[in-house]
Structure 1
Amino acid sequence: MAPLLNESEIQERVQVLDGWNIESKTLRATRKFKDFIQSVDFVNKLVAPAESAGHHPDIEISYNTVKITLTTHDAGGLTQKDFDLAQVISQII
């Protein structure tokens, strides 16, 4: 199991992630697209990196809006795995 990050480690890491914020014990981002098709296309692009990392985001799709939530459930909060995957997701257009 990945070790939990402390509050200062979390704040340090979130500052370098554009468009991500901390909500309770999760890392969250919201992306808006032209329409539903583009939203689903974006979500489909998340599959390979999530599978490769063995770490899967919680995803909500509402028409042209995709909300991504990361947390390490088995650790009970945020770990480096969350920030690593967030960095990869940030590069997906």
Structure 2
Amino acid sequence: MDVESKLKDLPRWRRAGEAIKRTVSAPDFPTAIRIVDEIAVKAEELGHHPDIDIRWRDLHLTLTTHDQGGLTDLDFTLAAVIDEIAAKHGAQGE
């Protein structure tokens, strides 16, 4: 898989070993929780779940496919969905 090529379509994500990461900064804490809730619904639909660390209004997200030992297309699909959700809520971040 050409990870660097896939990341060109996801400029806010960066590679970290066998994972991709992004920080989303919501306008406030309640919005951050709404973003997490929407991500959770989509993650369930896809059967793929991100690691999420919530720090006030900042969400630190990590995607990898543990049972495949690294990155798969599903990680990049969910990353694009997360970007859409974050943008809808006016979130910023890396």
TM-score scaled by structure 1?
A: 0.87
1:88 is matched with 81
Deviation at 1:37, TM superposition (A): 1.1
Ranges in structure 1 where 5+ consecutive residues have no aligned partner = none
Give 2:91's aligned residue. none
Matches within 5 A, 1:1-93: 5=1, 9-92=2-85, 93=88
Offset of residue 34 of structure 1:
2.1
Matched pairs, number: 86
User: What RMSD, in angstroms, separates the aligned Cα atoms of the two structures?
Assistant: 0.9
Between Structure 1 and Structure 2, whose CA radius of gyration is higher? 1
Amino acid at match of 1:69: T
Q: Distance in 1 between matches of 2:8 and 2:23?
A: 16
> Which aligned segments of 4 or more residues in structure 1 are displaced greater than 2 angstroms?
none
Identity of aligned residues (%): 37
**Any unmatched runs of 5+ in structure 2?**
89-94
Equivalents in 1 of 2:3, 2:79: separation in Å? 13
